Chain A
Amino acid sequence: MVDAPVTSNQAPAPKTNRIGLTLADYKGAPSTLCDGCGHDAITAQIIKACYELGVEPHKVAKLSGIGCSSKTPAYFLSRAHGFNAVHGRMPSVATGVSMANRDLTLLAVSGDGDTASIGLGQFCHIIRRNVPMIYIVENNGVYGLTKGQFSATADFGSKSKSGVMNELSSIDLCSLAIELGATFVGRSFAGDPKQLVALIKAAVSHRGTAILDVISPCVTFNNHEGSTKSYKYAKESEIPLHDLGFVPFFEQLTIEMEPGTIQEVEFHDGSKIILKKLDKNYDPTNKLSAMNTLQKAIAEKQFLTGLLYVDEKKEDFTTIMDLVDEPLATLSAEQTRPGKEVLEEIMNSLK
């Protein structure tokens, strides 16, 4: 860097992205969550991913349900409209938003309580419809906001803060999503920012419902010895399926690697995710092997992360609905109110 003469006491102009915005432009209100909460770490990666991709904030709709996790859309992208729905019902609101304005990028955050208990039905149906959206589950195994009750993703045998053992088996959102026909399923960890940011970027580039189940420790109620959703446990047991690199459509660089060690997945906008194989040979475009790998991991109590499954071919809901190109929200009265002659024709048919 060349030293510029100091003409004022102003700091140097901050770096900007491809649309001229700074990282700060992607931030939101200050977080009111507990210090060290995993959710804040995920918020940071959402901000980073959107900044680096040059996402236009006004074209984003932020959505969430209810919970500590669902509060986070207030903490990123303050230039985007946000909607904090009711507990467990964010997916239906998202479906409506998507139908009203197909030009919006839907960026949704939910919790494990919000998604795997009260909202399990809507979670299933948004996947079934393949509504284009990014759906991040900030999974801490407890209900943070109501003070630490077990959620349905708490692992069997996991201990609560007061020492009570969870005796029910957990719902694995990723296997469920794949089973239901999800077109993008990833799992990550709030303490693995490099992988997380790549997965968020890939999710943004995907056309369809992108499910990201992110282990996000609750430092207040579920970060103790005996918890399987603590920072320590997750850090020690995380097994990444691959090293992830994301190449956005506007940065077409080639990566030199030994043949056979990488796999590329290209998204509809031309962006690519590069999967560098680790010891396992994992193909995220093969549904059967994805299911097998996950089932095995559940049986062996392994914490696998990475891009678990991706299908770029299935039609998304706006395509299935065969909507006009323009957002329904802004169609003119001429386009939405049929003429007098139509009413007359109908009336005559009823005479």
Chain B
Amino acid sequence: MKTLAANSAQKTEQGRIINDFSIQVATVNGSGSQSSNNVLMRAIFQMGIPVSGKNLFPSNIAGLPTWFTIRVNKDGWVARKREIDILIAMNPQTSVEDVKSLPPGAICISPIELHLDSVRSDIKHYQVPFAELATQTTENIKLRKLLTNMVYVGVVGHLIELDFEEVKKAISRQFEGKTKAIDLNIAAVTKGREWAAQNLKKEDPYYVQADDKTQGKIIIDGNAASALGAMFAGVTVVTWYPITPSSSVCETLTDYMHQYRLDKKTGKATYAIIQAEDELAALGMAIGAGWAGARSMTSTSGPGISLMSEFTGLGYFAEIPTVIFDIQRVGPSTGLPTRTSQADLLSTYQLSHGDTKHIVLLPGTVEECYSMAVNAFNLAEKFQTPVFVLSDLDLGMNNWMSDPFKYPDTPIDRGKVLTASDLERLGKFERYKDIDGDGIPYRTLPGTNHALAAYFTRGSGHNEKAAYTERSDDYKNLMDRLNKKYQTARKYIPKPSMVSDKTAKIGIIAYGSSHFAITESQSQLKTEANIATSYLRIKALPFTEELKQFIQTHERIYVIEQNRDAQLRSLITLELPEFATKLRSVLHYDGLPIDARSITEEIKSQER
């Protein structure tokens, strides 16, 4: 068909586009499409084809539009793709707009009664009597709606030649142990497949073909990965207040801890997970626990991180370890609760009044959500301070492919804690004195049975002995030591990752979940415009020395970030003002995950 030119991808000789397209399923939230979408994605993954899934959902429980996008890509590009190749338009509310937004040549699978072929003729329509097919699968009206979703899995599966055995496996996995549900769902998929085989003439180029690129890989979302990291870090006190998109960190952690962290002999918990009354209390509890010697954490987003400001300052000033996960969503205020952004960078870095600055870890992959969570607890106790892990909705709530996580290769580091016998040996204890010249003092835990152990913790002025003071010299001394400690931290936090192209005049600096879109864009820039780029991904704040070297060795730097105000670029400018004129911005802040095409277009236009 003439109109069916491939969107952008390469075709094989027969005009087929294999393992390189995106599917978008438009439904209504609360309609149970989640399991169908998971099955679809899983089946493709099981065929060995790299895949990623993104859920674009409303802040609502039922009845509002939701879109799930599956990207299939043989080269392993898993960032969001802007163009949709296959639309499954199940939502009458949005179907017209959904169809209008397709690029020419795309395909649209839709319920026949929507007559979407009248909306556009430059795309390929497959119209399916979904309602009728679902009715044939079950008598139960309630189930019918759910099974309609499985029917589209069958239809699209037939069209792209999805391995039916893998679909069945994915269904068994999705409904683990529930034989009746498994049978019903397989029947619905079969219905869709059979109907499509008899009634549809394949007139599009999109196919999947078994590959071996997902062997040994896992699929996980970033929040579950962070939860795993916390568990393997040995977390003992977890506090939280429900908020999208961070809730699943602690919910998943609750499940894992219940399974793996009950004492083997007594069955009692080696941890406490508390759903607090608000985020102030959540962080207060985490700080109290950290002070008393537990490995503690809390997790939040948007409004919650604002509420945590005062306690964060206390943690910084009184030097109390805890870990705070901020799964960024769109602000300001309530903002768009179910959309993604990277706009908490500056406010989190300096959260709370007075001179404060924090260690902030910036995971860019689900693997880093895991490994940085492990690391965060060590850093918090080593530096006796709140440590932030700044993830985001895209990373945290979407499914990503990854290599399996590695068991932590370093022991748990509880930092400078003095026991009763240490105190006996030392004969002296001053809580806030810099003994080792690294700015990190020693602490004791409440309950330590020694006359020297006790000290008084306060967020008001205190001297080296932890006594109350308003003296200028004591205050300055303390602030300078805290700064020294912060400088020491630069040597221990994760260093940036760097991929250099010797011919590149252009450097890209970014952080967090932009990563996959950036590497894809680098490839586009190279092949489409012969623009070579090097790439430095910041993994933590404060900056480490690699940043300066990277900027020095490139003519121009594009700082790519998902916020309006160029927050990372501003920070770099503050710290390295001599390079300010070298820095340019690529900003993405529409609430959707950043995509390669947008970056490529922006850099091309600035390079023109």
Residues of A within 8 A of B (CB): 29, 57-59, 61, 63, 73-74, 78-86, 89, 91-101, 103-104, 121-122, 124-125, 321-325, 327-331, 333, 335-338, 340, 342-343, 346-347, 350-351
Contact = CB atoms under 8 A, between A and B. Distances in A.
B560 interface: no
Given A121-B277, A328-B271, A347-B218, A336 B456 contact: no
A122 B282 CA distance: 11
B83 interface: no
B446 A81 contact: yes
Contacts of B293: 100-101, 327, 329-330
Contacts of B283: 92
B305 interface: no
B457 interface: yes
A12 B216 CA distance: 78
B219 A86 contact: no
Given A79-B454, A347-B218, A329 B294 contact: yes
Interface string B217-249: 111100000001001111111010000000000
A85 B314 contact: yes
B459 interface: yes
B380 interface: no
B117 interface: no
B51 to A, nearest CB: 14
B270 A335 contact: yes
B460 interface: yes
Contact of A350 (B218, B231, B263): B218
A89 B457 contact: no
A104 B449 CA distance: 12
B287 A58 contact: no
Contacts of A351: 216-218, 404
B274 A324 contact: no
8 contacts: A74-B456, A92-B280, A99-B236, A328-B289, A331-B234, A333-B411, A333-B412, A351-B218
B576 to A, nearest CB: 35
B291 interface: yes
Contacts of B458: 83-84
Contacts, number: 213
Given A61-B292, A96-B287, A350-B218, A81 B455 contact: yes
A125 B281 contact: yes
B422 interface: no
Given A58-B448, A81-B455, A336-B234, A92 B294 contact: no
Nearest to B286: A96
Contacts of A91: 281, 284
B80 interface: no
A336 B296 CA distance: 12
Contact of B274 (A73, A95, A327, A328): A95
Nearest to B445: A329
Nearest to A80: B454
A26 to B, nearest CB: 12
Given A100-B293, A101-B292, A324 B270 contact: yes
Contacts of A346: 228, 256
B287 A328 contact: no
B272 A89 contact: no
B288 interface: yes
B442 interface: no
Given A81-B456, A96-B296, A328-B289, 13 more contacts: A57-B454, A58-B454, A99-B274, A99-B289, A100-B292, A324-B266, A324-B270, A325-B266, A329-B289, A331-B270, A333-B411, A333-B412, A337-B233
Most chain A CB within a 10 A radius of its CB, from B263, B292, B444 = B292
B260 interface: yes
Most chain B Cβ neighbours within 10 Å, of A85, A124, A325: A85
B604 to A, nearest CB: 38
B234 A333 contact: yes
B300 to A, nearest CB: 14
B447 A84 contact: no
B96 to A, nearest CB: 38
Interface residues of B, number: 72
Given A84-B460, A85-B314, A329-B445, A79 B451 contact: yes
User: A86, A124, A336 — which one has the most chain B CB atoms within 10 A of its CB?
Assistant: A336
Given A79-B454, A81-B453, A100 B407 contact: no
A82 B454 contact: yes
B370 to A, nearest CB: 10
Contacts of B445: 81, 101, 329-330
Nearest to B288: A96
A260 B314 CA distance: 53
Given A101-B446, A321-B272, A83 B288 contact: yes
- 10 closest A-B pairs by beta carbon, nearest first, are A96-B288, A92-B284, A329-B293, A336-B234, A100-B294, A93-B288, A96-B289, A100-B292, A81-B446, A350-B218
A63 B216 CA distance: 51
A73, A82, A99 interface centre (most CB from chain B within 10 Å): A99
A111 to B, nearest CB: 15
Interface string B401-417: 00011011001100000
Interface string B140-173: 0000000000000000000000000000000000
Given A79-B451, A96-B287, A343-B405, A86 B292 contact: no
B292 A329 contact: yes
Nearest to B291: A83
Contacts of B460: 84
A78 B218 contact: no
Contacts of B412: 333, 336-337
Nearest to A336: B234
A30 to B, nearest CB: 12
B459 A99 contact: no
A57 B272 CA distance: 26
B310 to A, nearest CB: 5
Contacts of A98: 288
A121 B289 contact: no
B281 A122 contact: yes
Contacts of A333: 234, 411-412
B291 A337 contact: no
A343 B407 contact: yes
A98 B446 CA distance: 11
A328 B236 contact: yes
Contact of A99 (B266, B268, B294, B405): B294
A22 to B, nearest CB: 13
Nearest to A82: B456
A104 B274 CA distance: 19
B200 interface: no
Given A97-B446, A99-B294, A338 B269 contact: no
B238 to A, nearest CB: 9
A101 B292 CA distance: 7
A261 to B, nearest CB: 42
Given A101-B446, A122-B281, A125-B281, A337 B288 contact: no
B290 interface: yes
Interface string B109-125: 00000000000000000
Contacts of A74: 456, 468
A83 B277 CA distance: 21
